């Protein structure tokens, strides 16, 4: 579904992505893990065409993304920071994005499931962080796009909403969508992820299933497995994923 070949990206002297090769498949939840600054967000923004690769190719559903914009209709994106025009209402924002995408949308079930109904006529500037994040989710998930990219989608969510988010992700997997999530919440990854991508210093250290990860690192929990990679890096030993 998403095919990344030899992707390089640097900001000035800082190399953020180094020769990234990835194949992300539909019907699966792929969790992109890695410490802060490892290049997770840059990877996601590269797929979205928001950052432009220095080298390498990205194909979404077989189409190369360079200089293209229309392929983004296959993508839904939940950005990390949810900031919206503060003087528009939730309803108006939903309307705006619908008009911008010019696609059929089905926001009502999402609004119900995330209990956003009472906020629809509120101005976005008056909403709390958690509510804004829910709006953020609705904005992305109300479209029936085959690929869903979520950058830290749990930020600020209350337990009820978190539970609902998990169910949503599972539903989307069932629907055969390709879901990419970055998160720091390890239990969430253990619960949902079919596929794990571990990024460190802009390189893909590991790609595979959870059990493949455990057997490779000889650990039983995700935390330990990741700690293993980080210690290895400290010892300056290279590991082939």
Partner 1 sequence: MWKIFKYSFFDLLRSRWTYFYFLFFMIVTAGLLHLSGQVAAAITSLLNIVVVLIPLISTLYGIVYFYNSSEFTELLLAQPVRRRSIFLGQYLGLFTSLAASFLLGILIPAIFLGHFEVRLWLDLFYLLGIGTLLTAIFTAIAFLIALRQTNRMKGFAIAILTWLFLAVLYDGLFIIFLLFFEDYPLEKFSLIATVLNPIDLSRTSLLLKLDMAALMGYTGAVFNKFFGTSMGMLVSISALVLWVAGPLLGFLRVAARKDF
Binding-site ranges for partner 1 (CB under 8 A):
9, 11, 45, 48-52, 69-73, 75, 77, 79, 81-88, 92-93, 96-97, 99-101, 123, 136, 139, 149
Residue 73 CB, shortest distance to partner 1, in Å, is 4
Q: Compute φ and ψ for 40, nearest 5 degrees.
A: -65, -50
> Between 92 and 212, whose beta carbon lies closer to partner 1?
92
Question: Could you give the C-alpha distances from 17 to 11, 69, 237, in angstroms and in order?
Answer: 10, 22, 19
> Between 100 and 235, whose beta carbon lies closer to partner 1?
100
Residue 48 CB, shortest distance to partner 1, in Å, is 5
> Between 59 and 194, whose beta carbon lies closer to partner 1?
59
Residue 70 CB, shortest distance to partner 1, in Å, is 6
Residue 123 CB, shortest distance to partner 1, in Å, is 8
Whole-angstrom Cα distance, residue 197 to residue 202? 12
Who contacts 112 (Cβ-Cβ below 8 Å, separation ≥6)?
Answer: none
Question: Could you give the C-alpha distances from 1 to 25, 94, 118, 172, 177, in angstroms and in order?
Answer: 5, 27, 37, 15, 9
> Between 130 and 208, whose beta carbon lies closer to partner 1?
130
Who contacts 5 (Cβ-Cβ below 8 Å, separation ≥6)?
Answer: 21, 56, 57, 58, 59
What does the block give as tokens for 50? 């928001």
> Between 24 and 225, whose beta carbon lies closer to partner 1?
24
Residue 56 CB, shortest distance to partner 1, in Å, is 15
């Amino acid at each position: 579904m998403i095919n990344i070949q030899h992707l390089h990206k640097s900001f000035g002297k800082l190399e953020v992505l180094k020769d990234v090769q990835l194949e992300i498949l539909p019907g699966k939840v792929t969790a992109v893990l890695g410490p802060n600054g490892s290049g997770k967000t840059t990877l996601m923004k590269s797929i979205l065409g928001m950052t432009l690769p220095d080298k390498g190719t990205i194909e979404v559903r077989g189409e190369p993304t360079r200089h293209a914009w229309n392929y983004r209709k296959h993508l839904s994106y939940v950005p990390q920071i949810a900031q919206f025009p503060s003087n528009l209402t939730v309803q108006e924002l939903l309307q705006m994005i619908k008009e911008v995408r010019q696609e059929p949308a089905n926001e009502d079930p999402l609004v119900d499931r995330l209990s956003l109904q009472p906020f629809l006529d509120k101005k976005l500037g008056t909403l709390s962080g958690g509510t804004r994040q829910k709006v953020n989710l609705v904005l992305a998930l109300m479209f029936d796009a085959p690929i869903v990219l979520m950058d830290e989608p749990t930020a600020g969510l209350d337990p009820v909403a978190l539970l609902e988010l998990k169910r949503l992700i599972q539903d989307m997997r069932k629907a055969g969508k390709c879901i990419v999530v970055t998160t720091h919440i390890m239990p969430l990854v253990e619960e949902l992820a079919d596929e794990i991508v571990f990024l460190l210093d802009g390189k893909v250290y590991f790609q595979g299933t959870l059990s493949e990860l455990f057997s490779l690192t000889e650990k039983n929990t995700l935390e330990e497995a990741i700690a293993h990679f980080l210690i290895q890096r400290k010892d300056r030993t290279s590991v082939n994923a």
